[in-house]
Amino acid sequence: MAAAEDSNNNLKELAEKDYKYGFYTEIESESAPKGLSEEIIRYISKKKNEPEFMLEFRLKAYRHWLTLKEPDWAHVDYQKIDYQDLIYYSAPKKKPKIESLDEVDPDLLETFNKLGIPLEEQKALSGVAVDAVIDSVSVKTTFQAELAEKGIIFCSFSEALQKHPELIKKHMGTVVPYTDNFFAALNSAVFSDGSFCYIPKGVKCPMELSTYFRINAANTGQFERTLIIAEEGSYVSYMEGCTAPIRDENQLHAAIVEIIAHKDAEVKYSTVQNWWPGNYEGKGGVYNFVTKRGVCEGDNSKISWTQVETGSAVTWKYPSLILKGDNSAGEFYSVAVTNNYQQADTGTKMIHLGKNTSSTIISKGISAGYSNNSYRGLVKTAKKAINARNFSQCDSLLLGDKCGAHTFPYIEAGNKSSVIEHEATTSKISEDQLFYCLQRGIDMESAIGLIVNGYAKDVLSKLPMEFAVEAQKLLAISLEGSVG
């Protein structure tokens, strides 16, 4: 019958479709030899001209990592990683100064152009300061002068290590200690670069801070580290987004993000993640095993995570919040899309420690093809967290009948005054909705884009404007050809 034939054609089309951002820029890389040892760690630290405390931190983390076993409790299945077969350091050889765009490697500019984020336009039009990370080393930082005036520090992690080692020493590892988990220990030992952001007391950051990540060299693990510190009464909105080129080998990505919000401070962290998900059969693609955590250290502080996950072959991450200060608030808004053979096990942890703390979780999972999408969340209120409140809503949308959606909510209430609410729904994208759109002249892919964006609206509306537009396009692209 016609429908079956159509879906076969769609599958075929999909298989032949190239990953939109699957190009590979040839920038000369300087890489460490394969494998992991104390020697390699010393090599990385030396290459980066790091202070002594940093090397010691790395070595401690490495020695701890050696004692750990790779965890396997997530609802994901992937080929075991040979950690001795990875390259742990790779830096663009030509390291341009950051005075003007003319000095930037032309190939790199081309990469940005393909991504549709030319730096000059970013500068001129959107007022977004971009700290671009390609293969682990920051190449370009803009708007620093304007930010510096307010005392805001926004730079690569390496630069911060050189210029503000005391800030790093004081805060790094306080939210995610290297002992936290297997991948956190690995990252702490070998991290190459990342972003650093410091907002001084009482300062409202006047622009959205943005970092674009991009994995570029073959078979290179990407170990980024982000540290955001918001001092008393400050505010910052931070965005991170990424795309990746087609690679045959699996690429491991094990990042750490740490956020600290002091009294009355607010941090909004938004991310759009679009790493190479593997080909139609699920071969290749990025493993994204990330530890993201924020702590609302002071009273009345607030941190929100907003994420749109469309990429990676395997995603394993739970941006979490520790609500330590009284009256502090945490938010988690997530859209996770999986297609073909993608697997995602993602969610959040809200740990209520302070009084009158509140948290909101809105998670929208979208599964298509043969993919598996799991929400895993923990809401915990400590004994002293009186009057803690949580509201969680976890919705799953299924496209087709070969995919899976799973919800694993964990609730631990430590006192009687906590109120924890959890709502969950599972629905299918209906043929009637699709046909209605088709009959109005909207083609299949736009129709899916419309319906899915409508479903995810509650989350997308939390993203900064320019990011929301990008995210909407991404959702549509990620689901191309997924309904027959």
Q: Which spans of this chain sit near another protein (rule: CB under 8 A)?
A: 1-3, 6, 430-433, 435-444, 446, 450-451, 453-458
CA-to-CA distance for 138 and 281, rounded, in angstroms?
33
End-to-end CA distance of the chain: 12
The pair of structure tokens assigned to 72 is 């396997």
Cα 342 vs. chain centroid, distance in angstroms?
Answer: 16
Q: Return d(Cα 96, Cα 139) in angstroms, integer.
A: 7
Q: Taking Cα atoms as reference points, which of 218, 275, 216 lies closest to residue 243? A: 275
State the minimum distance, in angstroms, from the CB of residue 221 to another protein: 38
Rounded CA-CA distance 308/295 in Å is 21
Nearer to another protein, 99 or 432 (CB): 432
**Distance in Å, CB of 456 to another protein, minimum:** 7
Nearest to 218 by CA among 411, 46, 309, 87: 87
Nearer to another protein (CB atom), residue 120 or residue 443: 443
- The span from the CA of 346 to the CA of 365, in Å, is 9
Closest to another protein by CB, 109 vs 444, is 444
Q: Provide the pairing of β-strand 302-309 with 256-261.
A: unpaired
Answer for the pair 239, 268: CB distance below 8 angstroms, yes or no: no
Whether the CB-CB separation of 449 and 483 falls below 8 Å is answered with no
d(CA 116, CA 20): 12
Distances in whole angstroms, Cα of residue 35 to Cα of each of 61, 148, 161, 220? 16, 39, 25, 11
For 171, other C-beta atoms within 10 Å of its C-beta total 16
Nearest-approach distance from CB 444 to another protein, in angstroms: 7
Q: Read off the tokens for 377.
A: 């969340």
Query: In the complex with another protein, which residue's Cβ is closer, 113 or 430?
Result: 430
82 exposure class (CB count in 10 Å sphere: 0-12, 13-18, 19+): exposed
d(CA 314, CA 72): 13
CB of 49 to another protein, least distance (A): 51
How far is C-alpha 459 from the chain's CA centre? 15
CB of 305 to another protein, least distance (A): 21
Nearer CB in complex with another protein: 451/479: 451
Q: Which residue, 148 or 438, has its beta carbon nearer to another protein?
A: 438
Q: Shortest gap between Cβ of 446 and another protein (angstroms)? A: 6
Find the shortest distance in angstroms from Cβ 435 to another protein: 6
Closest contact distance (angstroms) between CB of 459 and another protein is 10
Q: State the minimum distance, in angstroms, from the CB of residue 447 to another protein.
A: 8
Place of tokens 């209120």: 381
CB 370 within 8 A of CB 399: no
Residue 476 Cβ vs another protein, minimum distance, rounded to whole Å: 11
* 240 vs 395, beta carbon nearer another protein: 395
Query: What contacts 13, CB < 8 A, 6 or more positions away?
Result: 481
Taking the least distance from each CB to another protein, the nearer of 207 and 450 is 450
- Decide if 347 contacts 76 (C-beta within 8 A): no
- Closer CB to another protein, residue 382 or residue 434? 434
Nearer to another protein, 366 or 382 (CB): 366
